[in-house]
Chains A and B, each alone.
Chain A
Amino acid sequence: MVVKLPFKFPDRYSFEGERLEGGQGYVYICSDLFLERKVAVKVVSTPADMTALRQELALLADIRSAHVAEIYDLLEAQSGKHIGLVEQFVGGNHLADLVGKCKIIQFMRTMYQLCCGLSDIHAVQKIHRDIKPNNIRFDEEGILKILDFGISCNVEGEGKTLNGKGTHPYIAPELYDLPANYTNAVDIYAAGVLAYELAFGQLEACLKSIPPQKMGNPKKFSTSPLNIAPEICDLLDGALNPSPAKRPKVEDLKRAFERRLAFGRHRAAVTSGAQSWILSDSYQSLTLKSLDCVLTIAYDGLRFIVTSATGNVDVNNIKVKVGEELPASCVVAMNTENGSRSFITIDMSNPNIIL
């Protein structure tokens, strides 16, 4: 079957027959002859309120993120019936291809990048509204890109979008109530379902029912064969909470993934007078002494923690507490009984996350 364009695109965009199904209609892959690169043109029916759409697109076009596809141009059909949104073509693997064969490192990197993208989107008070595996693709460099924002237009073709609320089963439970309560927690829920699919290879009935989770709760992430770190499991369990207020913020998710991805690669430079040490995965614990003051700090792969302290020891002039995480940069003061004070500086640093 020869695929035809719904309206004539400017000559600059040359269509060679490749059409994809997007969340809100068809996406036509074209060559931009001016810049000699592929672009994706998403065609939707012209919305009743074009001014509102323009405002919305302006907001989308302004998102600065390494994980959100770029918007280049807006085409309007002469008939006035359709518009075409010209976007960056992302040509690598689909996230959907990972479902059922996802390894833990892919899981961590994918979810981390998704959280980075969502964090950039939420930072400009925008909600994606249609997070699902089909809307996420990797580019040639393996960088995850979020595509196909749910925009407020009518749906062309056979999208399974529920009045622009997203796609089942990624639609958050509260959106089935009327009036629908729209917060950025709907994106967190969708990310949670997506994480579940990656972690377990499939969705179970309670997540697929409409509305979801009325007939029982999903398995805990800690039972996934991927062996996901406990602090990540807790946050992802929270992402699937039917109550939007109880879901974690994307920033917390992002930070947790970031820290775990850097596991065992943090360092702390400890300096006392002319002496210095580097605490790391290969040198995990250090005891500092000055007369009656003793302090032991240890690295657990994620954090630098005070594991024991005796005597009058301050961290940044605040009395030290055993079990507490050290501030990322601090001065330890040992106040000995004979009135002398000695100082130790501890500066932590983070490794790059390689994607």
Chain B
Amino acid sequence: MIQPIYNPKVVLASRYRVEQYLDEGGMQQVFITTDLTFNRRVALKVPKNTSAEKRFQRSASTSARVNHANVAKTLDYFEAGNKGHLIEELIDGKHLGDRLDNHFEYLDPHLAAKLFSDLARGLSASHHAKIIHRDLKPSNILISSDADISVVKITDFGIAKLALEEMVGIDVEDQNSITGSQTVLGAIPYMSPEMIESAKLAKLPADIWAIGAILYRVLTGDFPFGTGLKAVANILEAKVPERPQIFTTKKQFSQLANELWEIMLSCLRKNADDRPTADDLVQSCASLCYSDAQRSEGEVIETRFGSQGTIRGHDGKLIFFHSESVFGAFPAVGTRVNFSAFPGYPRPRAFPVLPIK
């Protein structure tokens, strides 16, 4: 059972009123709070245990040094009750990890390209500021809850360092000590080989490896090297995962899908020096072409000939779709989908169509 540090209505620093408990990470709890000065909703982060407190401020100022649209904004920091408190902008939505668990199975190449471009830009801004994240994983990527994922922000810079310090001294052979730490377990699938060998070796390319692994997860719904301790051996080997069949069978997607795949492979090179820099990734993303048409969600309400069907949008409008435009198996009636609609007669036509949970 999670025991929230604060109850609703508590006012901190005469400025922030706690509204509700939001989430918990390895080192901290997150609350939705109201900033009474500007009457806006903000996120409050509080370290969970006393050992992390001193380093919490350092990590707060690390985050505060990066100013970029794809990095969560640090708004304030204060101490109350001997604990550091970090105020960050609040995103309407949870994190990518939560969305992958509960909403999307995976993303179609267009949505994945959008997400990855945003990540590359946010990462490049932090690397320019000489800040290594060290703990990039879906739960550290905040995304808005809209169908477009219009807002993508990296968070918890420097918190990573805390996690790392906690990790040092953990016996990798000891299952209990590993599973005892949420942070470590959640981070393993995205950890680079050099980081596993020695946490101190993690430099900028470790972040590149991590967003490569995230891209794999986002494109396939799967972990590139598995999860838990089994992943460790696969990562050390840097064994290249196999390209999913759908990348070649769906002609409308194959060019973009394969370009993303190549970028992903370049991030997952075993030798850290062989990986692209964040700036290289921003450049690669610039040459990607993807549809940024507005997305919405709906449900498949009928299918015909096993190759076409009708989607009812959340606004009640009916939209035609063809199996070629579906990134995934042909969806059965009742399947929920994420899509863009384009003008057509008698009905608008959907592309791409992404089955969701």
A271 to B249, CA, bound (A): 12
CB distance from A149 to the nearest CB of B (A): 13
CB distance from A226 to the nearest CB of B (A): 23
Chain B CB within 8 A of A129 CB: no
Q: Are B324 and A345 in contact (CB under 8 A)?
A: yes
Chain B stretch 39-93: residues in CB contact (< 8 A) with chain A:
39-40, 57, 60-61, 64-65, 67-69, 73-78, 89
CB distance from A324 to the nearest CB of B (A): 12
The segment from B159-167, B233-241, B340-348 found at the interface with A is B340-348
Chain B CB within 8 A of A61 CB: yes
Q: Are A329 and B77 in contact (CB under 8 A)?
A: no
The segment from A99-107, A201-209, A262-270 found at the interface with B is A262-270
Chain B CB within 8 A of A316 CB: yes
Chain B CB within 8 A of A215 CB: no
Chain B CB within 8 A of A197 CB: no
A72 to B76, CA, bound (A): 7
Task: Specify the chain A residue showing the minimal Cβ separation from B92.
Answer: A64
A97 to B33, CA, bound (A): 41
Task: Specify the chain B residue showing the minimal Cβ separation from A55.
Answer: B39
Known contacts A271-B251, A349-B256: does B40 contact A73 (CB below 8 Å)? no
Q: Are B125 and A269 in contact (CB under 8 A)?
A: no
User: Which residues of A pack against B, CB within 8 Å?
Assistant: 34-37, 54, 57-58, 61-62, 64, 66, 70-74, 88, 139-141, 143, 265-267, 269, 271, 274, 276, 278, 314, 316-318, 327-331, 345, 347-352, 354
Q: Are B344 and A70 in contact (CB under 8 A)?
A: no
Known contacts A317-B346, A329-B342, A351-B287: does B252 contact A36 (CB below 8 Å)? no
A88 to B292, CA, bound (A): 30
Which residues of chain A are near B286, meaning CB under 8 Å?
A: 351-352, 354
Task: Specify the chain B residue showing the minimal Cβ separation from A74.
Answer: B37
A266 to B68, CA, bound (A): 26
Which residues of chain A are near B147, meaning CB under 8 Å?
A: none
Q: Are B345 and A329 in contact (CB under 8 A)?
A: no
Known: A269-B251, A352-B117. 8 other contacts (CB 8 A): A70-B73, A73-B76, A269-B255, A314-B345, A316-B343, A331-B344, A347-B252, A351-B289
Q: Which 3 residue pairs across A and B have the least CB separation, nearest first?
A: A316-B344, A66-B69, A61-B38
CB distance from A276 to the nearest CB of B (A): 5
A328 to B100, CA, bound (A): 28
Q: Are B292 and A329 in contact (CB under 8 A)?
A: no
Chain A CB within 8 A of B312 CB: no
Q: Among A37, A58, A350, which residue has its beta carbon within 8 angstroms of that of B39?
A: A58
Which residues of chain A are near B351, meaning CB under 8 Å?
A: 329, 345, 347
CB distance from B323 to the nearest CB of A (A): 11
Chain A CB within 8 A of B293 CB: yes
Task: Specify the chain B residue showing the minimal Cβ separation from A317.
Answer: B345
Chain A CB within 8 A of B94 CB: no
Known contacts A35-B74, A354-B286: does B291 contact A348 (CB below 8 Å)? yes
The SS class assigned to the B binding surface is mixed
Chain A CB within 8 A of B128 CB: yes
CB distance from B350 to the nearest CB of A (A): 8
Chain A CB within 8 A of B155 CB: no
Which residues of chain A are near B39, meaning CB under 8 Å?
A: 54, 58, 61
Chain B stretch 91-128: residues in CB contact (< 8 A) with chain A:
110, 117, 125, 128
Q: Are A349 and B40 in contact (CB under 8 A)?
A: no
Interface range on chain B (Cβ under 8 Å from partner): 35 or more
CB distance from A123 to the nearest CB of B (A): 12
0/1 interface trace, chain B 125-140, chain A, CB 8 Å (1 if under): 1001100000000000
Chain B stretch 328-350: residues in CB contact (< 8 A) with chain A:
340, 342-346, 348-349
Q: Are A70 and B75 in contact (CB under 8 A)?
A: yes
Task: Specify the chain B residue showing the minimal Cβ separation from A141.
Answer: B125
Chain A CB within 8 A of B282 CB: yes
Q: Are A71 and B255 in contact (CB under 8 A)?
A: no
Known contacts A37-B65, A265-B289: does B38 contact A318 (CB below 8 Å)? no
Known contacts A269-B255, A327-B342: does B37 contact A141 (CB below 8 Å)? no
Task: Specify the chain A residue showing the minimal Cβ separation from B350.
Answer: A329
Which residues of chain B are near A271, meaning CB under 8 Å?
A: 251-252, 324
28 contacts between A and B (CB under 8 A): A34-B57, A34-B60, A36-B64, A37-B65, A61-B35, A61-B38, A62-B40, A72-B76, A74-B38, A88-B67, A143-B69, A269-B252, A271-B252, A274-B251, A276-B251, A278-B255, A316-B348, A327-B344, A329-B291, A329-B340, A329-B349, A331-B322, A331-B344, A331-B349, A345-B324, A349-B289, A351-B289, A352-B285
A350 to B256, CA, bound (A): 12
Which residues of chain B are near A345, meaning CB under 8 Å?
A: 252, 322, 324-325, 351
Which residues of chain B are near A36, meaning CB under 8 Å?
A: 61, 64-65
Q: Are B289 and A141 in contact (CB under 8 A)?
A: no
Chain A CB within 8 A of B288 CB: yes
Q: Among B117, B255, B291, which residue has its beta carbon within 8 angstroms of that of A328?
A: B291
Q: Are B78 and A34 in contact (CB under 8 A)?
A: yes
Known contacts A267-B289, A352-B288: does B342 contact A330 (CB below 8 Å)? yes
Which residues of chain B are near A70, meaning CB under 8 Å?
A: 73, 75
0/1 interface trace, chain B 271-293, chain A, CB 8 Å (1 if under): 00000000000110111111111
Which residues of chain A are near B74, meaning CB under 8 Å?
A: 35
Known contacts A330-B349, A331-B349, A352-B288: does B38 contact A58 (CB below 8 Å)? yes
A34 to B251, CA, bound (A): 54
Which residues of chain B are near A276, meaning CB under 8 Å?
A: 251-252, 254
Q: Among B125, B128, B291, which residue has its beta carbon within 8 angstroms of that of A350?
A: B291
Q: Are B289 and A350 in contact (CB under 8 A)?
A: yes
Which residues of chain B are near A64, meaning CB under 8 Å?
A: 89, 151
Which residues of chain B are near A331, meaning CB under 8 Å?
A: 322, 344, 349
Q: Are A57 and B289 in contact (CB under 8 A)?
A: no
Task: Specify the chain B residue showing the minimal Cβ separation from A258.
Answer: B292
Which residues of chain A are near B128, meaning CB under 8 Å?
A: 140-141
Task: Specify the chain B residue showing the minimal Cβ separation from A34.
Answer: B77
CB distance from B66 to the nearest CB of A (A): 9
Which residues of chain A are near B289, meaning CB under 8 Å?
A: 265-267, 349-351
Task: Specify the chain B residue showing the minimal Cβ separation from A271.
Answer: B251
Which residues of chain A are near B129, meaning CB under 8 Å?
A: 140
Q: Are A317 and B110 in contact (CB under 8 A)?
A: no
Known contacts A58-B38, A70-B75, A73-B76: does B61 contact A35 (CB below 8 Å)? yes
Q: Among A37, A73, A328, which residue has its beta carbon within 8 angstroms of that of B37?
A: A73
CB distance from A305 to the nearest CB of B (A): 16
Q: Among A57, A72, A140, which residue has its beta carbon within 8 angstroms of that of B75?
A: A72
